Structure 1
Amino acid sequence: MTATSKPRLLSLDVFRGATVAAMILVNNPGDWGHIYAPLEHSAWNGCTPTDLIFPFFLFIVGVSIVYAMESKAEVKANHSKMLWGAFRRMLILIVISLVTQLLFHPGFAHLRFPGVLQRIGLVYFISTLIYLKTTQKTRDVLLGALLVGYYLIMAYVPVPDTGKASLDPETNMGAWVDRMVFSTNHLWSESKTWDPEGLLGTLPAIATCLLGVRVGSWLKQKNNHDAVKVSWLFAYGIIAIVTGLIWDLFFPINKALWTSSYVLYSGGWAMVALALCFWLIDVQGHKKPAMFFVPLGVNAITAYVLSNYIPHYITNKKYFGGGNLYQLIFEPYIQPYVASALSGLLLVFIIWALMRILYKRNIVIKV
C-alpha cells in the first residue's frame, strides 16, 4: 500500500475506471435470466460491448507499462528489479484468484486454474519482459507474428483429438491444450471441456497488451503536438477496427478464442476510446465530469477483487423476509430487466464509494 506520488495520465485513469465499472456491472446482474443484450457476452462468434471490456483492460495494462517504466527502463541495471517486481505481481494475482475460489468453493478437486486475474498476471509479466528487452520495432514485428502465428495455429494445425483444425468450442486447439495441461477437472465450470481464459489464448492476449505498449510509447513522445497524437490515434483505431472486420470474414471475431481479428477489432475501439478521453480530459481540460471514474481507475485491481466478494453478501445472504437484497429492493417493484441492471449499478456505486475513500486519502493498494 503506497501513497500516490508520481503525476498520472488522468485520461488513462478515467478510461481504466470506466472499464472496471463496466466489468463490475456486467459480471453482477441482479438476475441472470433478465439481462439487456449489450450487457451479455456473445454466445460464440461476434462482439458485444461487454466483449470489449477485458481487452480494454489489457490494452490499458500495456499503456500503463510505458508510463510506469519508461524512465527506469532506460537504465539496464534496473531491469532485473523491475522484472522481479512484475513476476511477483503475476504470482500475487494468480494467488488472489485461487484463494477467492477456495473461499467460496472449498476443495482442490475442481479448482479452476485459468482465469481473468491469471491472464492479466501472465500478460503483464510477459509484456513487461518484452518491453524491457526489445526495441519498439522488434515489438511491432512480434505483435504481427503473434497475430499471424495464432491464426495459422488455430485455422490450419490439426487438433490431435479430431485430426483437423477447428474453431468450435470443444474441438479447437486451445481447448485441447487446456485439457492436456489442466485436465477437465480444472477448467471453466460451465463447460469442463474448454476455458475462455485458456493457455493458448494468452498469446493473442499478449498482442492486445503490446498494442497498448505501442500507444503508450506514442503518447509519451515529446516531438508531436497533442492534437497530432489524438488525430493519429483515432486514425490507427479506425484502421484496426476495419482490419479486424475484414479478418473476421475468415477468422471470426471471438472473445473466448481471443482471435486475431478480435485483437484488432477490440484494440481499435480501445484506441478510439482512449483518444477521446485524452482529447477531452488532458487536452481540452474537461476534467470534472470524468472524475467519477478516477477512484476506480487508481485502485482498479482492488475494485475488481472486491467485486468478487461483496456480491456474495448481496445475492447469497438472506435478510428480512428470507430474501436477498435484490429480491427485497428491486424485484417486487421494477420491471425485471431494469431491476437486474439497477442491481448491478448499485454494486458499482458501493465499490466506487469504497475506492473513493482510498482515493481521498491518497492511497493506492498495489499488488
Structure 2
Amino acid sequence: MLGLFLQGGFFHGLNDLTYGVDIEHMRWMGILQRIAIAYLLAALCEIWLKGDGNVNLASSLLSQYRFQWALVLMLSTLYLSLLYGLYVPDWEYRIPIETSSSPPKLFSVKCGVRGDTGPACNAVGMIDRKILGIQHLYKRPVYARTQQCSINFPNNGPLPSDAPSWCQAPFDPEGLLSSVMAIVSCFVGLHYGHIIVHYKDHRDRIFHWMFTSSCLVVLGLGLNLCGMHFNKALYTFSYMCFTAGVAGILFAGIYFMVDVCGCRRPTFVMEWMGIHALMLYILAACNVLPVFLQGFYWSRPRNNILTLIGIGR
C-alpha cells in the first residue's frame, strides 16, 4: 500500500504542487512492491522450507535448505524460459496530445521475435502490458534517456527526428517477470544469513561468503560474455548473479573490518543508513522530502528552497 501511494502517481514530482492520481492509470508495481513480494516469499520459505540438523560442511548446508534451492532453480528456469521463449508480437500504444483536443497519437512497434532483450520487443514488457495493462506501467522509463530517444543523452531531452516508435512507450523496470529474479536474489541473501547462523568462526563465515560470492561473480561474467548480457531494466539472470556476488564480497569485507578487526567507527554512517534504509528511500528516492520542501515558497511557487539550492527550475 505504501508503494502504491508513493510510486503509483499520487505525487506529481518536482515543480508540480498538485497531487492525486487517476485509478485507471495508477502504477501497480514499483520498488517497494517488489521488495514486499520478494521478502514475503523468502520469509515464508524460511519458515516452511528448511530441514533440521547440524551443518558441518558446505554440502550439508545446501542439503538442509535443498527445498529452497529447488524453488530458486524453478524460478530461474521460469524466468529464462519466458524471457527467451515467449513470442513477442507487434504492439501499439497511445500518447495523449496535451496541447490539443485531438485523439491520442497512435504508435506501432514492430516485433515478431523471440528472445529479444532490447527496449522494444522483450518478453518482460509484453507480460506487463498483457497482465497489468499498459496504462498501469511506469511512464518515464530509463530507455527515454538513451541515445536513440534523447538529443540530450544521457539525460532526458527532446526526441531526435529519427527516434524509434517505442521511445515514449511505458515500461516498468519493476514488473512481474523481472521481479522473479529479485526474489531469487533474496534467496541468495538468505543463504548469506544461513552462513551466519550455522558457522560461528569468523574464518569459516568469510570463507563461505567469499566462495559463494566469487562463484556468482564468475558465473555472471561468464554468462555476460556468452551473450546473456547484464540488463538492469530486465533484471537478467547474469545481472542478478553478478550483483549478488559483488554484494556478498562487499558484505564479507565490511564484516572483516567491523567484526574481526573492530573498526566500527568508520562505518557508523553506513550502519545508520542501513538501519533507516526504507525511510531514507522514501524521503529521497521517492521525492517525498523535495515535494514537501517545495510546498513552502515566497510569493510564487518557483521561489522555494529547492530552486534556491539549484534543484528544479
> In the alignment, residue 121 of structure 2 is paired with which amino acid?
T
- 1:60-101 CA-partner distances (Å, limit 9, x unpaired): xxxxxxxxxxxxxxxxxxxxxxxxxxxxxxxx4445435x73
Q: Secondary structure at the match of 2:139?
A: coil
Question: Conserved in 2, the CA contact under 8 Å of 1:186 and 1:192?
Answer: no
Name the counterpart of 1:111: 26
Name the counterpart of 1:243: 219
Residue number among 156, 164, 175 corresponding to 2:113 in the alignment: 164
Larger RCO, structures 1/2 (Cα 8 Å, 6+ apart): 1
> In the alignment, residue 254 of structure 1 is paired with which amino acid?
N
> In the alignment, residue 328 of structure 1 is paired with which amino acid?
L
Unaligned runs of 5+ in 2: 13-18, 51-64, 91-110, 141-167
Give the distance between the partners of 1:155 and 1:319, measured in 2 at CA.
Answer: 55
Give the distance between the partners of 2:211 and 2:303, measured in 1 at CA.
Answer: 51
Residue number among 123, 126, 137 corresponding to 1:187 in the alignment: 137
> In the alignment, residue 248 of structure 2 is paired with which amino acid?
M
Name the counterpart of 1:97: 6
* Cα deviation, residue 151, structure 1: 1.7
Question: Conserved in 2, the CA contact under 8 Å of 1:314 and 1:326?
Answer: yes
Question: Conserved in 2, the CA contact under 8 Å of 1:281 and 1:287?
Answer: yes
Which contiguous aligned blocks of 4+ residues in structure 1 show a shift greater than 3 angstroms? 92-98, 160-163, 313-327
Give the distance between the partners of 2:298 and 2:249, measured in 1 at CA.
Answer: 44
Alignment pair present for 1:201 and 2:150:
no
* Cα deviation, residue 274, structure 1: 0.7
Name the counterpart of 1:311: 290
Call closer, same or farther: CA 1:317–1:244 in 2, change over 3 Å: farther
Q: Report the structure number with the largest CA radius of gyration.
A: 2
> How many residue pairs get matched?
239
Percent identical residues? 25
Unaligned runs of 5+ in 1: 1-91, 332-339, 344-367
* Cα deviation, residue 235, structure 1: 2.6
> In the alignment, residue 123 of structure 2 is paired with which amino acid?
M
Give the distance between the partners of 1:310 and 1:133, measured in 2 at CA.
Answer: 40
* Cα deviation, residue 164, structure 1: 2.7
Question: Conserved in 1, the CA contact under 8 Å of 2:28 and 2:137?
Answer: yes
Call closer, same or farther: CA 1:244–1:263 in 2, change over 3 Å: same
Question: Conserved in 2, the CA contact under 8 Å of 1:147 and 1:260?
Answer: yes
Give the distance between the partners of 1:277 and 1:319, measured in 2 at CA.
Answer: 46
Give RMSD over aligned pairs: 2.5
Name the counterpart of 1:6: none
- Give TM-score scaled by structure 2 length: 0.69
- 1:26-66 CA-partner distances (Å, limit 9, x unpaired): xxxxxxxxxxxxxxxxxxxxxxxxxxxxxxxxxxxxxxxxx
Give the distance between the partners of 1:261 and 1:315, measured in 2 at CA.
Answer: 41
Give the distance between the partners of 2:270 and 2:299, measured in 1 at CA.
Answer: 33
Q: Secondary structure at the match of 1:101?
A: coil
Name the counterpart of 2:72: 143
* Cα deviation, residue 314, structure 1: 4.6
Give the distance between the partners of 2:237 and 2:294, measured in 1 at CA.
Answer: 37
* Cα deviation, residue 285, structure 1: 1.2
- Give TM-score scaled by structure 1 length: 0.59
Q: Secondary structure at the match of 1:138?
A: helix
Give the distance between the partners of 1:317 and 1:182, measured in 2 at CA.
Answer: 37
Alignment pair present for 1:328 and 2:305:
no
Call closer, same or farther: CA 1:216–1:107 in 2, change over 3 Å: same
